[in-house]
């Protein structure tokens, strides 16, 4: 029943499920769930913190001009060497820069409503390879479900009959973003990743790439993991319903949810357009894109104006036609 709110027995502060100590008073938390291994760490050099967006990252040692990949700012402060959480796996890049650029162009060009000076005022072409931290959650769920099935008992006059039941399953490999800059909406929009392609961090040269550091505690990802598990469970319960199914509803309780740190590959392009930060992200493994881009109000106004002008012209023409017919 790890779903419940746990509190420190001494000071009553809130505890996360995987906390071993109270963050407020330092009391050791009563053994919660399974014994956890001490987190593996390593020393990260070339650490930078962005003044613009607060991102903490480790930078490519060979990079010449430093530019924050998350917000495009150039005000980066070098930080001292730091111990970092060691990711359990790193998924390497499978999408080349040219491919990512092509996808970016396609995505940017797909909409008419972009300001015309976007390409000029914003540095649109700078895509950066970044490893972004994620949590991989695993947990058990216990579910009650209800649904309507088309396999109705003999003699039924309608098309559907209701069913209810329960299910228990174990899940692993549920991804939730752990970035302190990208929002959960952004990090989930570029999922899924094929985690089986992940390799040990020793096999990836983390000295010479840009990666964001783990700065967000697991507790913020946990509620989002719950939602993800609910979607998975909805698919799992479908198997219990014979025939066609409608109104499938699941009521999920999650137990023993644990998260592991991983680094996943993302191509990021960040730019400022009129003091607003916009970002474009490409999944470095599958090529899935997401992003925000400015909308040109001038263009919208132009189109509305054009439509009005056309309407007016039609009215005038009709007036003229009426005039001619009248003659």
Partner 1 sequence: MKSEIRNLKSEIAVPDIQWVDVPVVDAEVAAPSGKPCEACATPVEPLDRFCPACGTVNPDFPAKIPLARPESEDRSVPDRSTAPRGAGKPHDRGPPEPSDSPLTKHLECKTCGAEVATDPNQRSYVCPFCDSTYVVEVPAGQSGRQRPEFVIGFAVTPEQAQEKFRAWLAENTWYRPGDLAAASIADKMKGIYLPFWSFSMLAQSQWQAQIGEHWYRTEHYTTCDAKGNVQHHTRRVQETEWWPLSGRHHRYYSGYLVSGSRGLPQDQSLRIQPFNLPALKRYEPYFLAGWLAEEYSVGRDEALKLCHEEFHRQEQRNIAAFLPGDTHSGLAVETDFSHEGSDLCLLPIYILSYRYQDKVYRFLINGQTGRFAGDKPISGTRIGIAVGVALGLIALIVVVVWILSSMR
Interface with partner 1 in residues 213-242 (CB under 8 A): 213-217, 219-224
Among 118, 138, 161, 277, binds partner 1 (CB under 8 A): 161
SS (H, E, C) the chain: CCCCCEECCCCCCEECCCCCECCCCCCECCCCCCCCCCCCEEEECCEEEECCCCCEEECCCCCCCCCCCCCCCCCEEEECCEEEECCCEECCCCCCHHHHHHHHHHHHHCCCCCCCCHHHHCCCCCCEEEEEEEEEEEEEEEEEEEEEECCCCCCCCCCCEEEEEEEEEEEEEEEEECCCCCCHHHHHHCCCCCHHHCECHHHCCHHHCEEECCCCCHHHCHHHHHHHHHHHHHHHHHHHCCCCEEEEEEEEEEEEEEEEEEEEEEEEEEEEECCEEEEEEEECCCCCEEECCCCCHHHHHHHHHHHHHHHHHHHHHHHHHHHHHHC
Among 81, 106, 183, 235, binds partner 1 (CB under 8 A): 183
For partner 1, the binding residues in 242-281 under the rule CB under 8 A are 246-249, 251, 253, 275
Residue from 65, 103, 72 nearest 271 by CA: 72
Taking the complex as a whole, the smallest distance from the CB of residue 130 to partner 1 amounts, in Å, to: 15
Q: What distance in Å separates the CA atoms of residue 33 and residue 16, rounded to the nearest whole number?
A: 12
Nearer to partner 1, 197 or 320 (CB): 320
Nearer to partner 1, 93 or 160 (CB): 160
Among 45, 81, 166, 314, binds partner 1 (CB under 8 A): 166
Among 125, 164, 170, 295, binds partner 1 (CB under 8 A): 164
Q: Is residue 185 at the binding interface for partner 1, with CB under 8 A as the rule?
A: yes
Contact region with partner 1 (CB under 8 A), list: 98-106, 195-203, 284-292, 313-321? 313-321
Among 33, 39, 102, 295, binds partner 1 (CB under 8 A): 39
Q: How many residues bind partner 1 (CB under 8 A)?
A: 83
Taking the complex as a whole, the smallest distance from the CB of residue 203 to partner 1 amounts, in Å, to: 21
Q: Is residue 108 at the binding interface for partner 1, with CB under 8 A as the rule?
A: no
Taking the complex as a whole, the smallest distance from the CB of residue 173 to partner 1 amounts, in Å, to: 20
Taking the complex as a whole, the smallest distance from the CB of residue 253 to partner 1 amounts, in Å, to: 6
Q: What distance in Å separates the CA atoms of residue 47 and residue 150, rounded to the nearest whole number?
A: 59
Q: Is residue 95 at the binding interface for partner 1, with CB under 8 A as the rule?
A: no
For partner 1, the binding residues in 40-79 under the rule CB under 8 A are 41, 54, 56
Q: Is residue 319 at the binding interface for partner 1, with CB under 8 A as the rule?
A: yes
Tokens of 42: 């390593």
Q: Is residue 158 at the binding interface for partner 1, with CB under 8 A as the rule?
A: yes
Nearer to partner 1, 109 or 326 (CB): 326
Taking the complex as a whole, the smallest distance from the CB of residue 197 to partner 1 amounts, in Å, to: 25
Nearer to partner 1, 122 or 182 (CB): 182
Q: Is residue 27 at the binding interface for partner 1, with CB under 8 A as the rule?
A: yes
SS (H, E, C) 281-305: EEECCCCCEEECCCCCHHHHHHHHH
Nearer to partner 1, 102 or 316 (CB): 316
Taking the complex as a whole, the smallest distance from the CB of residue 94 to partner 1 amounts, in Å, to: 26
Q: Is residue 148 at the binding interface for partner 1, with CB under 8 A as the rule?
A: yes
Q: What distance in Å separates the CA atoms of residue 224 and residue 210, rounded to the nearest whole number?
A: 26
């Amino acid at each position: 029943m790890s779903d419940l709110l746990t509190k420190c027995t001494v000071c009553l502060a809130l505890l996360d499920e995987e906390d071993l100590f109270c963050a407020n008073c330092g009391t050791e938390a009563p053994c919660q769930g399974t014994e956890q291994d001490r987190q593996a760490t390593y020393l990260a050099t070339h650490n930078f913190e962005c003044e613009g967006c607060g991102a903490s990252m480790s930078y490519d040692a060979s990079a010449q001009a430093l530019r924050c990949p998350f917000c495009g700012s150039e005000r980066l402060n070098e930080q001292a060497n730091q111990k970092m959480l060691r990711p359990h796996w790193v998924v390497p890049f499978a999408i080349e820069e040219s491919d990512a650029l092509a996808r970016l162009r396609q995505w940017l060009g797909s909409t008419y409503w972009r300001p015309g000076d976007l390409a000029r005022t914003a540095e649109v072409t700078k895509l950066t390879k970044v490893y972004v931290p994620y949590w991989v959650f695993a947990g058990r769920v216990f579910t009650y479900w209800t649904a309507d099935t088309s396999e109705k008992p003999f003699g039924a006059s309608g098309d559907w009959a209701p069913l209810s039941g329960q299910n228990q399953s174990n899940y692993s490999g549920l991804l939730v973003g752990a970035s302190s800059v990208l929002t959960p909406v952004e990090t989930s929009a570029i999922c899924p990743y094929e985690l089986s392609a992940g390799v040990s961090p020793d096999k990836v040269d983390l000295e010479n790439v840009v990666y964001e550091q783990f700065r967000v505690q697991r507790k913020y990802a946990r509620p989002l993991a719950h939602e993800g598990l609910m979607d998975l469970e909805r698919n799992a319960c479908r198997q219990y319903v014979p025939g066609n199914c409608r109104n499938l509803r699941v009521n999920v309780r999650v137990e023993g949810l644990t998260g592991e740190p991983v680094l996943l590959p993302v191509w990021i392009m960040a730019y400022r357009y009129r003091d607003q930060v916009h970002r474009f992200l490409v999944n470095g493994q599958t090529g899935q894109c997401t992003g925000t881009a400015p909308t040109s109000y001038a263009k919208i106004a132009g189109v509305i104006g054009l439509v009005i002008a056309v309407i007016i012209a039609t009215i005038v023409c009709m007036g003229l036609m009426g005039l001619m017919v009248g003659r």
